[in-house]
């Protein structure tokens, strides 16, 4: 992750291959290591469908419906990978869809009290399928293509004891609906 301002004395409590636990002035939080950032993509087809993914997430012990997302700069030799390049790569890898144009939407924390992560959100309009997707060799991703006007009800029906919805899906849905209705300029957050 990019360097950030420290609020006080910082101590590494534990470190693993991908995460470390930090205590900063009495506040404990998780921090990613070996990445430059995180990207999330809101893909919309020409037919006004949103492309979502579903995969098992061990941390919550459930299958989770999500928007496509991933890490930037996490592979050896790609430490300076542009976030837009990472977003295109993750979209294609996870969903099999290609985006010709990405529009930066905003940057924000997914869990500001527990993690130092910041996610850059991108809108990808008129995506088209070019491969099956499904993730890399360590992932088993199921791709869902859902009409925007049916998505809220579709999501409601998908919630079970074994499946949940990542809240970022609802953020993505807001931007997708704004994009197809022509109201994206009002919905976009610029920092």
Span 89-144, pLDDT tens digits: 999 999 999 998 999 999 999 999 999 999 999 999 999 999 988 877 788 999 99
Q: Are 90 and 69 in contact (CB under 8 A)?
A: yes
Identify the DSSP state of 65.
Answer: E
What is the separation, in whole angstroms, between the first and last Cα of the chain?
Answer: 18
Look up the pTM and report it. Answer: 0.88
* Other residues' Cβ atoms within 10 Å of the Cβ of residue 97: 22
pLDDT digits (tens, 9 = 90+) for 22-36: 999 999 999 999 888
What SS3 state is found at 124?
A: strand
Q: Is the pLDDT of residue 14 over 80?
A: yes
Query: Where do the domains of the chain lie, and which CATH numbers do they carry?
Result: 1-33 (no CATH), 36-184 (3.90.79.10)
């Amino acid at each position: 992750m990019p360097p950030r301002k420290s609020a006080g004395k910082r101590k590494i409590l534990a470190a693993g291959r991908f995460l470390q636990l930090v205590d900063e002035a009495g506040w404990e939080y998780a921090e990613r290591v070996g990445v430059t950032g995180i990207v999330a993509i809101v893909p919309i087809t020409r037919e006004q469908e949103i492309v979502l993914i579903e995969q098992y997430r061990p941390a919550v012990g459930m299958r989770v419906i999500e928007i496509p997302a991933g890490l930037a700069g996490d592979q050896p030799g790609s430490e300076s990978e542009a976030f837009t390049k990472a977003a295109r790569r993750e979209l294609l890898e996870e969903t099999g869809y290609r985006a010709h144009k990405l529009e930066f939407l905003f940057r924000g924390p997914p869990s500001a009290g527990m993690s130092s992560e910041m996610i850059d959100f991108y809108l990808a309009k008129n995506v088209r399928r070019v491969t099956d997707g499904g993730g890399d060799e360590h992932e088993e991703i199921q791709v869902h293509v859902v009409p925007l006007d049916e998505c809220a009800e579709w999501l409601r029906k998908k919630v079970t004891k074994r499946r949940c919805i990542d809240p970022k899906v609802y953020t993505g849905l807001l931007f997708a609906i704004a994009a197809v209705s022509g109201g994206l300029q009002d919905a976009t957050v610029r920092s």
